[in-house]
Amino acid sequence: MQKLFSVLFAISEADPLIKIGGLGDIGGTLPIALRNLSPEETDGAKLDVRVVIPYHEEIKRKNWPTEWICNYTVETRWGPRDVYLSKALNTPYPLYLIDGDPIRNTGIYSDNPFTDLNKYAFFSVAAVEMARAIQFQPNVIHFHDWHTALGVKYLKQLRPIDPFFSRTKSVYTIHNLPYSGGDFPETLRYYGIRPAYDERIPGWLRNLPMAIGLDAADQISTVSKTYAKEITTPEFGHGYEYYLSQQGGRLAGIVNGIMPDQWDPTADTKIAQRFSADRIEEERGVNKTRLQEELCLPVRADVPLFAMVGRMSYQKGFDLVIQALRQMSDVDFQAVILGTGEAPIENDSRALADTMSDRVRVEIRFDALLARRLYAAGDIFLMPSRYEPCGIAQMISMRYGCIPVAHATGGLVDTIRDPFDFPETYTGFLYRNADVGGTEWALRRAVDYFRNKPEWIKLQRRAMNQDFSWNKQAIEYLDMYRALN
Ligand code: GLC
């Protein structure tokens, strides 16, 4: 085994510098998990894992301390373009920031697909070229989602003609398949990147970064075993299903993890009352009381409190919960919904809070601290996602004893055990039909279970005592990287 093994992550978000969703959690934590592997787990090799993200305006606004590293250029059809490379200070691993004209004055993501591709095509090529600029020769570049997918192809085109990259392999991880990037062949030509050519990918997809990344990668992976299977079917495959179904071992599923020390109710200073799995009754309830007070809800321990947190998008199924709750006025419940996103969903949530003002609260904002208080106070956590490649909130909510009700899809299946299949060891509730009727059925079912207090506490204890840490999966990633070298 070689003594040093180097990996470069190219990704659009990395917590705590920048995080919109689960992708930012992965960018912020998987590199740490890899670096934390013990010498036994790495067969004595030293892992050098570094990360590169765009120098988003939002990071500049936060004034995160950085140092300038160097300037270099990337080639385009119309000549070289400047790249300005910095490095973030005070991060647990080397985190590089790429800046340049296509990145300046842009949001993290844009509603305009051309602006977005312009930004991320530049970033993808510049991320690969960064390795050369800092003379860091990675064994593997691990690319994430369409934002970096053109880098996969750029590397592949470079490899046969460029000794610096001749031994660098690529892993391309799908976090969200439907987000494929824009269709602008002129941007591809600008950077000399050829479209996907595999005939099993439909013609109308072949200019898209997602298709190009899938086609060019040495290894493809996605963030749960169930999603890896789902995307080989027409329902979840978005046109890629036939191609993906033909990949065999070239397509792997590795479920995401969380950092146990970031999500530990026994040590969390941001919640009203810390609590452990053995003292749920005595300690955890304080959090519920405080939350009810904070949000001016009737202070009651016996009422089931639903919590829902996340990006308000079609994917996440907020609309299903809103409609299901409307139909449940006969049930005694409280609900708190927190998030931001698509305007129609935000408006419908507000309307629900208006009509059910005695029991529903809606907070339209991104608020990581309120999210924590919800995990600690809620009884039932709602994840009616239409599809969910992995999902992280359900793992966090279980750690905090807030029991998930989730659509049986993707990573939710891989991380939650339903009483139907696991009558003794269930940790939450899964349901099959991601429509209003199915969601309502599932919420009512969870409330029935909630009424059986002694069983519910046992359930909370089981959920809290699970190990969702990254360690095992970090080893799986390392094995995957090594198999390529
Ligand atoms: C995307 C997916 C989510 C996953 C996350 C990190 O946001 O929608 O399911 O957990 O990526 O992999």
Predicted confidence (pLDDT) per residue in 86-104, tens digit:
999 999 999 999 999 999 9
If you search the block for the tokens 């106070």, which residue do you land on?
377
Question: What's the pLDDT at 276?
Answer: 97
Task: Give the pair of three-digit tokens for residue 477.
Answer: 């990633």
Contact 391, 368 (CB under 8 A): no
pLDDT at 1: 52
What residue's CA is closest to ligand 1, atom 7? 22
* Maximum pairwise Cα distance, the chain: 70
Which of these, 419, 362, 366, 410, lies nearest to 386 by C-alpha position?
410
Q: Cα(135) to centroid of ligand 1, in Å?
A: 32
For residue 295 the two structure tokens come to 């949000």
pLDDT at 14: 98
191 alpha carbon to ligand 1 midpoint, in Å? Answer: 29
* Structure confidence at residue 321 (pLDDT): 98
Ligand 1 pocket mutation, candidates 23, 180, 388, criterion most atoms within 8 A of CB: 23
CA–CA distance, 413 with 429 (Å, rounded to integer): 10
Angle, helices 436-450/318-326, rounded to nearest 10 degrees: 70
pLDDT tens for each residue of the chain, 485 residues long: 558 999 999 999 999 999 999 999 999 999 999 999 999 999 999 999 999 999 999 999 999 999 999 999 999 999 999 999 999 999 999 999 999 999 999 999 999 999 999 999 999 999 999 999 999 999 999 999 999 999 999 999 999 999 999 999 999 999 999 999 999 999 999 999 999 999 999 999 999 999 999 999 999 999 999 999 999 999 999 999 999 999 999 999 999 999 999 999 999 999 999 999 999 989 999 999 999 999 999 999 999 999 999 999 999 999 999 999 999 999 999 999 999 999 999 999 999 999 999 999 999 999 999 999 999 999 999 999 999 999 999 999 999 999 999 999 999 999 999 999 999 999 999 999 999 999 999 999 999 999 999 999 999 999 999 999 999 999 999 999 999 99
Give whole-number Cα distances, 257 to 9, 263, 347, 352, in Å: 17, 11, 33, 34
Any residues with CB less than 8 A from the CB of 429 and at least 6 apart, and which? 403, 404, 405, 406, 416, 418, 419, 442, 445, 446, 449
24 Cβ inside 6 Å of ligand 1: no
Both structure tokens of 85? 């490379």
Distance CA 117, CA 294 (A): 43
CA distance 146 to 177: 8
Full DSSP string of 428-464: SEEES--SHHHHHHHHHHHHHHHT-HHHHHHHHHHHH
Instruction: Tell me which of 30, 146, 176 to substitute to probe ligand 1's pocket, judged by most ligand atoms within 8 Å of the beta carbon.
Output: 176
Is 26 touching ligand 1 by the criterion CB < 6 Å?
Answer: yes
- pLDDT of 2: 59
Pull the structure tokens for residue 281. Answer: 């009754």
Mutate to test the pocket of ligand 1, among 11, 172, 390, 407 (most ligand atoms within 8 A of CB): 390
262 alpha carbon – ligand 1 mean position (Å): 18
**Six-digit token string for 157:** 């085109």
Secondary structure (DSSP) of 283-352: IIHHHHHHHHHHTT----SSS-EEEEEEEESGGGTHHHHHHHHHTTTTS--EEEEEEEE-HHHHHHHHHH
Residue nearest to atom 12 of ligand 1 (CA): 175
Cβ distance 475 to 36 under 8 Å?
A: no
C-beta of 23 in contact with ligand 1 (< 6 A): yes
Rounded Cα distance, 198 and 212, in Å: 9
Let me know: does 123 contact 54? Beta carbons within 8 Å.
Answer: yes
Ligand 1 atom closest to the Cα of residue 223 is 12
**475 C-alpha to center of ligand 1: Å?**
20
Of the candidates 299, 301, 263, 298, the residue with the CA atom closest to the CA atom of residue 282? 301
Please check whether residue 339 is in contact with residue 318, taking contact to mean a CB–CB distance below 8 angstroms. yes
236 CA distance to ligand 1 middle (Å): 14
Q: Is the CB of 383 under 6 A from ligand 1?
A: no
Calculate how far, in angstroms, residue 393's C-alpha sits from the geometric centre of ligand 1. Answer: 10
223 lines ligand 1 (CB under 6 A): yes
Run of H or E including 140: strand 140-144
In whole angstroms, give the CA distance from residue 232 to residue 227: 9
145 CA to centre of ligand 1 in angstroms: 10
Secondary structure of residue 88 in the 3-state scheme? strand
411's tokens: 């990573």
Is 175 close to ligand 1, i.e. is its CB under 6 Å away?
A: yes
CA-227 nearest atom, ligand 1: 9
Per-residue pLDDT, 261: 95
The span from the CA of 28 to the CA of 421, in Å, is: 34
Q: What are phi and psi of 188, to 5 degrees?
A: -65, -45
In this structure, which amino acid lies at residue 141?
I
Is residue 268 within 6 Å of ligand 1 at its C-beta?
Answer: no
Contact present, 410 and 390 (Cβ < 8 Å): yes
- 421-479 confidence digits (pLDDT tens): 999 999 999 999 999 999 999 999 999 999 999 999 999 999 999 999 999 999 999 99
Distance 22 CA to ligand 1 centre (A): 5
Does the model's pTM come out above 0.75? yes
Ligand 1 probe mutation, 9, 255, 256, most atoms within 8 A of CB: 256
Query: What pLDDT does 327 receive?
Result: 98
Ligand 1 centroid–CA 391 distance in Å is 5
Q: What is the pLDDT of residue 465?
A: 98
Give me ligand 1 centre to Cα 61, in Å.
Answer: 26
Residue closest via CA to ligand 1's atom 10 equals 391
Gyration radius from the chain CA atoms = 23
Does ligand 1 lie within 6 Å of residue 224's CB atom?
Answer: no
* Three-state secondary structure call for residue 231: coil
Q: Domains along the chain? A: 4-257+470-483 (3.40.50.2000), 260-464 (3.40.50.2000)
From the CA of 87, how far away is ligand 1's center (Å)?
A: 26
- Closest approach atom of ligand 1 to CA 391: 10
